[in-house]
Chain A
Amino acid sequence: AQSVTQLDSHVSVSEGTPVLLRCNYSSSYSPSLFWYVQHPNKGLQLLLKYTSAATLVKGINGFEAEFKKSETSFHLTKPSAHMSDAAEYFCVVREGAGNMLTFGGGTRLMVKP
């Protein structure tokens, strides 16, 4: 069985400072991991994905995430937050090549001017 834990339900940063959104997962098989972003009243957009290639994955809008198997983590980072980054972020795991996704509870990122 697979599961995802997003350790923080809310994160607040100042514009221009680094962003860290934490995600831990459990999976019986080699997982694929994704980060999706949801802006207010919008659908979910893929930020980046890990599918067993390079462990450091770069995504859109300057975000990146590192797959650490030993820590079962897939934390999302960005060096410098922008006001437009304010949104909800979901860490998602999928086992093997199956279709079933398991979503974390989401982390709401707030960016202060």
Chain B
Amino acid sequence: DAGVIQSPRHEVTEMGQEVTLRCKPISGHNSLFWYRQTMMRGLELLIYFNNNVPIDDSGMPEDRFSAKMPNASFSTLKIQPSEPRDSAVYFCASSSPPDRRNEQFFGPGTRLTVL
């Protein structure tokens, strides 16, 4: 298995532009998570999906952020319009059905820089 796949790996954009981050979870996993990592706040959960349905989006910072999971093998995190304070590494993770033994598998991350 290729693991969790994220694209792009690096994104540099200008303030005000729309940014779309993509994630392909591990096949068979039905939970998908988006995290943001910054020096100031560490790792924060933004949103997670179970069976393609958003379960908890309380971590989404504001309305500029939106996430979708149109099917079991693809999710997007969109920022529109982007701002310099959105610069961070964004991780996607997936896991199999909720069970105390199941860990989350993380993708390599997308490093976003907003100028």
Q: Do A and B bind each other?
A: yes
Hey, which bits of chain A sit against chain B, CB under 8 A?
30, 32, 34, 36, 41-46, 49, 51-52, 90, 94, 96-101, 103, 105-106
Most buried by A among B48, B95, B106, B108: B106
Q: In this assembly, does B82 line the interface, its C-beta being within 8 Å of a C-beta of chain A?
A: no
Q: How many residues of B contact A (CB 8 A)?
A: 25
Q: In this assembly, does B18 line the interface, its C-beta being within 8 Å of a C-beta of chain A?
A: no
Residues of B within 8 A of A44 (CB): 91, 93, 106
Which residue in B4, B42, B55, B104 is a CB contact (below 8 Å) of A101?
B104
Q: In this assembly, does B101 line the interface, its C-beta being within 8 Å of a C-beta of chain A?
A: yes
* A-B contacts at CB below 8 angstroms, number: 49
**B95 & A51 in contact (Cβ 8 Å cutoff):** no
Between A and B, 23 residue pairs with Cβ closer than 8 Å are A30-B100, A32-B100, A32-B101, A34-B103, A43-B4, A43-B108, A43-B109, A44-B91, A46-B103, A49-B101, A51-B101, A94-B100, A96-B100, A97-B100, A99-B31, A99-B48, A99-B55, A100-B45, A100-B56, A101-B45, A101-B104, A103-B42, A106-B42
Residues of A within 8 A of B101 (CB): 32, 49, 51
Q: How far is the CB of B56 from chain A (nearest CB, A)?
A: 7
- With A90-B43, A103-B43, A105-B42 as given contacts, are A98 and B106 in contact (CB-CB < 8 Å)? no
Among residues of B, the one whose C-beta sits closest to the C-beta of A95 is B100
Which residue in A30, A49, A97, A103 is a CB contact (below 8 Å) of B98?
A97
